Structure 1
């Protein structure tokens, strides 16, 4: 099993290099789902629960699928990218909290104040021009001039 783990480690690195560096660099649902499935599949190659080469090929197939979907999303003009990656949601507009958006996204006023503090601003929501819940789950803030 140790030898298989070593081989799977290096094969997994090679497969990721063929794919896209953003697979594990971003935290969109699109990327996280691949990461979870990729790890689950490769664990089967290590433990021997599935045929070794078939498991490696399945992992490779998922990474290529991820890359192809990312390419299609990049070149799509009909919203495919937003469909698979999501889109940002405006939480604050001109100092006014968008309560319906916040409620549907489970974001509280304290979450927005935390994002303000994290970006080096005083926790005053009225100073916000726009605040967005990004596709990664981060809150980005654009303060008023």
Structure 2
């Protein structure tokens, strides 16, 4: 465990430039994996749930990148958050009421 902290920093003290650079690589790989697993639509549809997801994930990953939060703890919490998103998204597709709360309702821009 000490070797891991020496490599990426512990988040409690300041981190060095190369530790932040290594964290950047880890966060980038994690972010790309999350997008690939959840699909591009999770970050591009812009329903209310998607907007919250983008803000929270961006905020939490930026904190771990700069050393203001522990790397592994934040990645685990973000993974739980993404799993909750996935469950909510699937439930919203099957339950009309939940779908309205989570996704909103479409507003037609042009008719006929």
TM-score by length of 2: 0.76
1:142 aligns with 2:111: yes
Q: Distance in 2 between matches of 1:70 and 1:20?
A: 12
Correspondent of 1:21 among 16, 36, 40: 40
Instruction: Tell me what 2:50 maps to.
Output: 31
* Structure with greater proportional strand content: 1
Unaligned runs of 5+ in 2: 1-19
More helix by share: 2
- Post-superposition Cα deviations, 1:60-108, rounded to whole Å, max 9, x if no partner, equal 111111110010011114x11011111124xxxxxxxxxxxxxxxxxxx
Find the counterpart in structure 2 of residue 125 from structure 1.
Answer: none
Corresponding residue number in structure 1 for 2:105: 87
SS at match of 1:40: helix
**Whole-Å separation in 2 of the counterparts to 1:88 and 1:81:** 11
Q: Identify unmatched segments of 5+ residues in structure 1.
A: 90-131, 133-139
1:66 equivalent in alignment to 2:85: yes
Higher Rg of the two aligned structures: 1
What is the TM-score of this pair, normalised by structure 1?
0.60
CA drift of 1:35 comes to 0.3
Post-superposition offset of 1:17 = 2.0
Aligned positions, number: 93
**Residue in 1 that maps onto 2:71:** 52
